[in-house]
Structure 1
Amino acid sequence: MIINQDDKVLLVKGYKRGWEFPGGFVNSEESIKAAAIREAKEESGIDIELTDFLGVEHHIKKTSIVVVFKGRPIGGTIETSNETKDVGYFDLNESLKIMAIDHFKDRLLRCVNENQIPFFIEIP
């Protein structure tokens, strides 16, 4: 979750899942933190600095683990990529309106609720 100086959330719009946080997979011999920074840049054009660890989501059926960090922009320019058809900063209400997948909305709400951080969520 990347938050700018105006407290707006950076979202990317992919071709299959719609609006969501930038993210992706960790490459061989790459740290989780380095992957988060790289994926944000690749998908949005924005250079970030990670500021906090927010939590973990374990998707049991998919056998995947999502590690969620908080970051802030430190450079770059918003631009789409071959993975994204749109990129932008949105306030919380706008973000919730444009996100099509309920799980992504739930993730966003967990990330802004300080009482739930850090979180560990198991999804069947």
Structure 2
Amino acid sequence: MADTGEVEPCDLVTVPARQGLEAVDILRLRHDVGPVLHDQEGDTLGFIVPPGTAEGWDLPGSACIQTCGGSACGTQPPVTGSGWLVPPEGTVVDTTEPERLRAALDEAVRLLAVVDRCQPRCP
């Protein structure tokens, strides 16, 4: 992406931090992950996805809004009160592919459910 000085619109998928951290790991292992934000309280993560994703995003437990993002944001996160978990300069892609993100989030939910069921019985 050429640096024209303009910030290009992107969408932002937000999820609970625990699920998001698992999804980041899954995406890093299997695919590429684009820039990822965290809120200052550590409650949510936000994945930068291509513009237009919000129109069809319907994954329960998550939200998708239009914002600016990708490598065009440089070092400044596009959302006030957030910071980079995965900064744009640390990625090989400008955005996370929505279907891969959806699959990683679904898998993260299943993995965390198994961990939660095991917790009381595990030493």
Asked if these proteins are the same fold (TM beyond 0.5), I'd say no
> What is the TM-score normalised by the length of structure 1?
0.30
Which is greater in Rg?
2
> What is the TM-score normalised by the length of structure 2?
0.30
More helix by share: 2
